[in-house]
Copies of this chain bind each other. A is one copy, B any other.
Amino acid sequence: MLSVQVKPAIYPAPAASGQQARNPSAAFPHYRPGRIDHSPPAVPVAKGATLLDLTRLQSIICTTRKVKRGNALYRTHDPFDSIYTVRAGCFKTVITHRDGKEQVTGFQFMGEALGLDGLCTERHNCDAIALEDSEVSVIRFALLASLCHQVSSIQHHFYRVLSGEIVRESSHMMMLGTMSAEQRVAAFLLDLSVRMKARGYSPVDFYLRMTREEMGNYLGIKLETVSRMFSKLQKQGLVDAHGKQIRIVNPLGLSRV
* Docked-complex contact B120 and A164, CB < 8 angstroms: yes
Provide the main secondary structure of the chain A interface.
helix
A47 to B: closest C-beta gap in Å: 11
* Docked-complex contact A101 and B34, CB < 8 angstroms: no
Give the CA-CA distance A34 to B160 in the complex, in Å.
Answer: 21
**Known A-B contacts A162-B166, A170-B125; A178 and B145 likewise in contact (beta carbons under 8 Å):** no
* Docked-complex contact A178 and B103, CB < 8 angstroms: yes
The CB with the most chain B CB atoms within 10 A, among A31, A118, A165, is that of: A165
* Docked-complex contact B220 and A120, CB < 8 angstroms: no
Contact with B along A200-232 (1 / 0, CB 8 A): 000000000000000001111000000000000
Enumerate chain A interface residues (CB-CB to B < 8 A). 31, 33-34, 95, 97, 101-103, 105, 116-121, 125-126, 145, 149, 152, 155-156, 159-160, 162-167, 169-174, 176-178, 217-220
- A sample of 18 more A-B contacts (CB under 8 A), given A31-B120, A125-B170, is A33-B120, A95-B171, A97-B174, A101-B178, A103-B178, A116-B166, A117-B163, A117-B166, A117-B167, A120-B160, A120-B163, A120-B164, A125-B167, A145-B155, A149-B152, A162-B166, A165-B166, A169-B169
